[in-house]
């Protein structure tokens, strides 16, 4: 069974982003970039399925600037076998990304595609569901447990109020939540080996996908700053202030 894992290069989760002065986006020059954390979890899950003998090959895919190669090399070092880079700048929207992933999936024929639930830059939480729609495959989003059982995959999902388990006929789409696993760090020898693994480069035009955005960004602004920082000296003072000053209790 083949598994396809789309991975996105994003601003590292530790970076406090700044809105650009021209209000057209956020500052990305000189900012540390990493693999989207949910996608690390997706790669890890695929590698575990291969280690268990369920999967035979893992293909990773990234859409973005040429530097997304680094992200793909990281995924290869974690245990993926092959990589596909689709160069596109600026990064296409989730619907267009889903169309590109679909085109690759039609060539590769994976049984499972594992994505992150959310890219921590656009916070869209949309690509896996859109891809599932376009392929007419079932979807198991926000997964905290994945079990392949014959022709089906059982996915335990994080929902409001608890957990839900669904059974999906393969081929299927899965999106990862934080509790699915803890991704490994790539060991140095694996990083060296990853340099020699195959990486194919394509463009949206090669796949005949139109990536014209549907959303026009009119403005990117900074949210209102909170006036925090006040301290109280004791619990009694805190309760007093909540009653008489803030009037919330």
Ligand X SMILES: Nc1ncnc2c1ncn2[C@@H]1O[C@H](COP(=O)(O)O)[C@@H](O)[C@H]1O
Ligand Y SMILES: Cc1cc2nc3c(=O)[nH]c(=O)nc-3n(C[C@H](O)[C@H](O)[C@H](O)COP(=O)(O)OP(=O)(O)OC[C@H]3O[C@@H](n4cnc5c(N)ncnc54)[C@H](O)[C@@H]3O)c2cc1C
Site for ligand X, rule CB under 6 A? 6-8, 36, 38-39, 42, 61-64, 91, 94, 97, 115-116, 118-119, 122, 124-128
Please say whether the dihedral angle defined by the alpha carbons of residues 42, 183, 50 and 104, taken in this order, is positive or negative.
positive
Give whichever of 73 and 157 is closer to another protein, judged by the CB atom: 157
d(CA 31, CA 11): 7
- Position of tokens 């639930």? 117
Please give the helix or strand (H or E) that residue 20 lies within, else none: none
Q: What is the DSSP letter of 201?
A: E
List C-alpha distances in Å: 220 to 23, 209, 217: 5, 27, 7
Residue of 89, 106, 206, 222 interacting with another protein (CB under 8 A): 222
* Shortest spacing between CB 82 and another protein, in angstroms: 27
* Shortest spacing between CB 146 and another protein, in angstroms: 13
> What's the angle, vertex CA 184, arms to CA 179 and CA 188, rounded to 5?
165
Q: Does 138 bind another protein (CB under 8 A)?
A: yes
224: CB partners within 8 A, 6+ apart: none
**Partner whose binding site includes residue 11, from ligand Y, another protein, ligand X, none (CB under 5 to 8 Å by kind):** another protein
Q: Please count the residues of this chain forming the interface with ligand Y, following the rule CB under 6 A.
A: 3
d(CA 55, CA 59): 11
Q: Does 162 bind another protein (CB under 8 A)?
A: yes
* Shortest spacing between CB 14 and ligand Y, in angstroms: 8
Residue of 122, 197, 199, 207 interacting with another protein (CB under 8 A): 122
Give whichever of 120 and 170 is closer to ligand Y, judged by the CB atom: 120
């Amino acid at each position: 069974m083949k598994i396809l894992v789309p991975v996105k290069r994003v601003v590292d989760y530790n970076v406090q982003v700044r809105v650009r002065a021209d209000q057209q986006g956020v500052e990305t020059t000189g900012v540390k970039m990493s693999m989207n954390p949910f996608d690390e979890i997706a790669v890890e899950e695929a590698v575990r399925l291969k280690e268990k003998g369920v999967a035979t090959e893992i293909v990773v895919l990234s859409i973005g600037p040429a530097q997304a190669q680094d992200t793909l090399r990281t995924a290869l070092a974690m245990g993926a076998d092959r990589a596909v880079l689709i160069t596109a700048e600026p990064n296409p929207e989730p619907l267009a990304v889903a169309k590109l992933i679909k085109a690759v999936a039609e060539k590769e024929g994976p049984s499972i595609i594992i994505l992150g639930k959310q890219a921590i830059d656009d916070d869209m939480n949309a690509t896996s569901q859109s891809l599932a729609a376009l392929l007419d495959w079932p979807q198991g989003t926000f997964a905290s447990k994945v079990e392949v059982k014959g022709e089906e995959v059982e996915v335990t999902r994080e929902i409001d109020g608890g957990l839900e388990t669904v059974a999906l006929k393969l081929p299927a789409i899965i999106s990862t939540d934080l509790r699915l696993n803890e991704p490994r760090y790539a060991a140095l020898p694996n990083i060296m080996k990853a340099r020699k693994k195959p990486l194919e480069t394509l463009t949206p035009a090669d796949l005949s996908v139109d990536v014209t955005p549907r959303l026009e960004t009119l403005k990117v602004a900074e949210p209102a700053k909170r006036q925090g920082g006040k301290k109280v000296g004791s619990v009694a003072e805190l309760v007093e202030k909540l009653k008489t000053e803030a009037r919330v209790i």
